[in-house]
Structure 1
Amino acid sequence: MTHRFKQASVLLMALLMLFYGCGFKAEVLANTATENSPEITEPTAQTDPAFTGEIEDTKKKSPELDPGEQAILDANGITATEDTGKMDASGNYILGETASGGTVTCSTSLRTLASRSFGDEPCYKKFQRAAGWDDGVIYSSDFASPDGSDIITTTTPILRISDNGVDQIAYCADPSLNIPSEVVGPNGLVTYNRESWNVQSGRIRNVMWHGYHDGNSGEYYVQTWAAIRVIAGIGAYTDYYMTDPTVANLVNTLSYQNPNNWDASWSIVPEREEAVWNASTKRQETGWFQTYCNNIADHGTYTVTLPSGVHALLRNTSGQVYSDVTDQFTIYDDDDFMLYADGSYQGEVSANITPTTIKRHSSDAGNPDACVIYAPDVPDTQRLFVSLAVGQSPLSSGFRANFTGATGDAQLQKTDNRTKEKLAGATFGLYDMKDNLLKQGITDENGQWNVTDLVFGDYYFKEIAAPKGYELNPAKLPFTVDGIRDMVTVVMANEPKKGPFQFIKQDAETREPLKGVTFVLYGCDEKHPHNDLQDDKIKSCWQTIVGTRISGTDGKIDFGNLYAGEYQLVETKTVPGYAKPMGQWRVTIDPEAVETVKITAKGTAPAFVKDGNALKVDNQKNDKLPFTGGNGDHRAALMLAGMVFFLAAGILALILKKRNLKNPKESSEKIERKEENESEK
Structure 2
Amino acid sequence: MSVASKRPSPQDPSRIRRHVVFGTAVALGAGILLAPQAVAADKWGPGYLIPDSTGKPDTSHIGAYNVPGVDGVAYCADPELAGPDAADGYSSAQTVTSWTSKATGKTASAEDLARAAYVLGKYGQTKNDEQAAAVDAVVYTYLEAGSTYALPNGKRALERLGYPNVSPDAKKWATGYLNEAAMFAGPYKINIKPADEQLKAGAKTSVTLDVTSATGHKVPGVKLDLDVSGAAAGAASVTTNAEGVATVSLTPAEGGTVDFKALAKTLPASQLRSFTPTNAKAQRLVLAGGSSSAQAEIHLTTHSPKGGLIVTKTAADTKKPLAGVEFAVKDSAGKTVSTGTTDTNGTWKVDDLTPGTYTVHEVKAVEGYQLAADQQVTVTDGAKADVAVKDIKIPEQPKPKPRPVTIPVLPQTGA
Normalized against structure 1, the TM-score is what? 0.34
Normalized against structure 2, the TM-score is what? 0.50
Q: Compare CA radii of gyration and give the structure with the larger one.
A: 1
